[in-house]
Structure 1
Amino acid sequence: MAGAAPLRVVIVGAGAFGRNHLRVYRELEQAGRDVRLVGVVDANAAVAAEAAARFGVPGFDSVDACFAAVGGVDAASVCVPTVHHAVAAQPLLERGVDLLIEKPLAASLADADAILALAKKHNRIVQTGHLERFNPAVTAARGVLNRPMFFEAHRLSVFTPRSLDVDVVLDLMIHDLDIVLSFVGSPVREVRAVGLPVLSNKVDIANVRLEFENGCVANFTASRVSTERVRKLRFFQPHQYLSLDFARQDLLMIDVTAAAGMDPAALAKLAVAGAHPSEGLSLRKVPVTEGEPLRLEIESFLDAVRRRGRPVVSGDDGRAALALALEINGAIRGHAARAGL
């Protein structure tokens, strides 16, 4: 908004995610956007000081100290470990600060509900940090959706000590759960799941099958003990198959009717006549405008703050993904008990 005062932003949590948020806000500020980075908060004073020196911003070991020094704050990114989200969000919401809270929204539904209740009470915006929603390939896929009926999601990572306060469902799979929920737009009817701890004391690898009320089926595999990094989502819809690569930000579409100008009946006749199936297929890349998902997410959050509108990924969206993830964890525990694991 022309002439508007810059939004004053703080980052709470200066770990790996927090430093990425610091970088993006600083880049936006240096690019002349109407945002001003005014502080970074971390309970570990040494971590706060290191981040402060690196990004040229005041560092504090508490929200109280931050507010005492810098005064009013408009918005904040909450990047502390998931188990501390509700505790970190409370004093900020009570001071009238709009929040971008890293995914998952909270560690429990009770904590998520407490955050959302405070946001409603103080008329504050809460956006959940499901940054894959802002992946340009996901944006492109949303533009060609036509009643998808089957999904296959794979999200594999090598083991790191990061995010071990939560299991692999809340750490990695929740990205794909959120995207598929937003694509399908139908309640989940059935959950089947299996998972195992491998290198930590929480589930490190999981496989899940969901069936939705509209008949769509989705399979998810997530692992944080893989030898490779994979971030892919494939799905089928009438006459089309799409393959989305999050890391490469590309989207391939195979259309069984478009290029050949044939309907399924014509393709069947070709098959009977001995023609190769590929003669009735059209493979093309869907145009994708590349961009950094985190930057796009933060820009979207700041836009929601300025216009006082519902964010693209609302707190309610974050709660829905969390509720499904926790239901999956319950199904994993049930399977483990039945299997004697």
Structure 2
Amino acid sequence: MRAASLSSKARELSDSVNAVLCGAGAFGRNHLRVYRELELQGYPVHLSAVVEPDSGRAQALETDAKDHSQQISIFSDLRECMAARDMGRIAIDVASVCAPTSAHFSIAAELLAAGLDVLVEKPIAATVNEANRLIELAQQHGRILQVGQLERFNPAITAIEPYLDNPMFFEVHRLSVFSPRSLDVDVVLDLMIHDLDIVLTFTQSPIRHLHAVGLPVVSGKVDIASVRIEFESGCVANFTASRVSTERVRKMRFFQPHQYVSVDYARQDLFVIDVETRDGKAIRQTGENNPADPVAFGGRESHLPPGLSLRRPVVHSGEPLRLEIESFLNAVKTRTAPRVSGEDGRRALALAIEINEAIAMHAKHASLQRFAPGG
């Protein structure tokens, strides 16, 4: 049953948009859920088709659609789906590509050539050449190509953007417990690429030098990596990513002149510490200044030392994936550039590949191949 009134985003989309989901694995099912929630809440979008080659998943999708009284066509092959569209059996305007990375290019290329707007999950493709070709196809056919760099839509990240002013040092940690999901790519392309995209966006500076080390632990690919990047601007960024951790951590901290910023992606929490001038006024006046707020140091809650003041900018919580899909649909309707463009996706991919090359060189130099599973 539709909601009684449309959200502001829904009102921007006066005509219903029909979507196809390509890939209904672990993350693809999240896309399916969000599309379903949007439609039920009155957002003019309809998931009309799913392409899933795995017969077991396809059968489960058909059962699930019946349980939710939804009319969704299930296809095992993309060309079969597009043929049904061409014959007028189903309507499709946009697509979410959630297949394994190795299939991103072939699927997205066919969709763009067929005149669909495409949201492709990160990484945009397996190679920079494939990414370049997708960008070219989107331009050639006048289509929207958005890349699913999910953390760009994290409310804590959007809340910090007004505070950006020449960040000079980043410390980023992204740790996850082991999961058999996404083992077709290494930890850099699986997890670290989120943070690479954020830091590249925040610094807007060419890279001068990078150093990277990494090891495979339980899979045949690198499962834990540490990276240090120096930018032409003088900014330095340290990244740690692991998918074999005993805990789940997603945090970023950065320093800029007279200010320290801490972001917790998972909690969507943000706080800013300012250095005060001698007259007791904060150098930065953006947002509400509250020096009396307590902050934890060394595992205990205490007040900041003199000369520092703490602020907690307002963060309007929300599910990043839903915000990502809403942003994509809005770009489709308004024919405006997406928040995360194909060029953004290519840039993050190129850096991730460069990091993996550096890891491979270090492993060869240090004879680390013997530490690989089965090595």
**TM above 0.5, one fold?**
yes
1:338 paired with 2:365, answer yes
- Aligned equivalent of 2:127, options 91, 95, 108: 108
- Counterpart of 2:298 in structure 1 is none
Pairs within 5 Å for 1:242-321: 242-257=261-276, 260-261=280-281, 278-321=305-348
Pairs within 5 Å for 1:205-216: 205-216=224-235
1:203-255 deviation digits (Å, cap 9, x = unpaired): 00000000111100000000001000000000001111011000000101111
- Aligned equivalent of 2:165, options 139, 143, 146: 146
Deviation at 1:277, TM superposition (A): 7.7
Question: Which amino acid in structure 1 is aligned with residue 51 of structure 2?
Answer: V
- Aligned equivalent of 1:34, options 38, 44, 48: 44
- Counterpart of 2:5 in structure 1 is none
- Counterpart of 2:4 in structure 1 is none
Paired positions, count: 330
Residues in 1 aligned to 2:212 and 2:128: alpha-carbon distance in whole angstroms: 20
- Counterpart of 1:62 in structure 2 is 77
Structure 2 gap segments, 5+ residues each? 1-10, 284-302, 369-375
- Aligned equivalent of 1:5, options 4, 8, 15: 15
- Aligned equivalent of 1:221, options 212, 235, 240: 240
1:54-109 deviation digits (Å, cap 9, x = unpaired): 24322111122223434441100000000110111122111101100000101111
- Counterpart of 1:269 in structure 2 is none
Task: Report if the CA contact (8 A) 2:271-2:313 is conserved.
Answer: yes
Question: Which amino acid in structure 2 is aligned with residue 318 of structure 1?
Answer: G
- Counterpart of 1:22 in structure 2 is 32
Deviation at 1:3, TM superposition (A): 7.8
Residues in 2 aligned to 1:9 and 1:311: alpha-carbon distance in whole angstroms: 17
- Counterpart of 2:297 in structure 1 is none
Secondary structure of the residue aligned to 2:209 is strand
Pairs within 5 Å for 1:72-151: 72-151=91-170
Residues in 2 aligned to 1:330 and 1:67: alpha-carbon distance in whole angstroms: 38
Question: Which amino acid in structure 1 is aligned with residue 171 of structure 2?
Answer: E
Secondary structure of the residue aligned to 2:337 is coil
Residues in 2 aligned to 1:54 and 1:15: alpha-carbon distance in whole angstroms: 14
Secondary structure of the residue aligned to 2:347 is helix
Question: Which amino acid in structure 1 is aligned with residue 36 of structure 2?
Answer: R
Q: Post-superposition, which runs of at least 4 consecutive aligned residues in structure 1 deviate over 6 A?
A: none
Task: Report if the CA contact (8 A) 1:93-1:124 is conserved.
Answer: yes
Residues in 1 aligned to 2:222 and 2:265: alpha-carbon distance in whole angstroms: 23
Residues in 2 aligned to 1:324 and 1:77: alpha-carbon distance in whole angstroms: 24
- Counterpart of 2:215 in structure 1 is 196
Residues in 2 aligned to 1:181 and 1:3: alpha-carbon distance in whole angstroms: 31
Residues in 2 aligned to 1:90 and 1:12: alpha-carbon distance in whole angstroms: 13
With normalisation by structure 2, the TM-score equals: 0.85
Deviation at 1:36, TM superposition (A): 1.2
- Counterpart of 2:288 in structure 1 is none
Secondary structure of the residue aligned to 1:118 is helix
More off after superposition, 4-13 vs 54-63 = 54-63
Task: Report if the CA contact (8 A) 1:250-1:286 is conserved.
Answer: no
Task: Report if the CA contact (8 A) 1:134-1:294 is conserved.
Answer: yes
Residues in 2 aligned to 1:40 and 1:260: alpha-carbon distance in whole angstroms: 60
1:311-330 deviation digits (Å, cap 9, x = unpaired): 00001100000000000011
Secondary structure of the residue aligned to 1:279 is coil
Question: Which amino acid in structure 1 is aligned with residue 155 of structure 2?
Answer: P
1:283-324 deviation digits (Å, cap 9, x = unpaired): 121110000000000000000001111100001100000000
Task: Report if the CA contact (8 A) 2:282-2:309 is conserved.
Answer: no
Residues in 2 aligned to 1:260 and 1:251: alpha-carbon distance in whole angstroms: 23
Secondary structure of the residue aligned to 1:218 is strand
Question: Which amino acid in structure 2 is aligned with residue 340 of structure 1?
Answer: S
Task: Report if the CA contact (8 A) 1:137-1:246 is conserved.
Answer: yes
- Counterpart of 2:181 in structure 1 is 162
C-alpha RMSD of matched pairs (Å)? 1.8
Residues in 2 aligned to 1:280 and 1:208: alpha-carbon distance in whole angstroms: 33
Residues in 2 aligned to 1:165 and 1:223: alpha-carbon distance in whole angstroms: 15
- Aligned equivalent of 2:355, options 298, 322, 328: 328
Task: Report if the CA contact (8 A) 2:13-2:44 is conserved.
Answer: no
Residues in 2 aligned to 1:299 and 1:204: alpha-carbon distance in whole angstroms: 32
Deviation at 1:262, TM superposition (A): 6.4
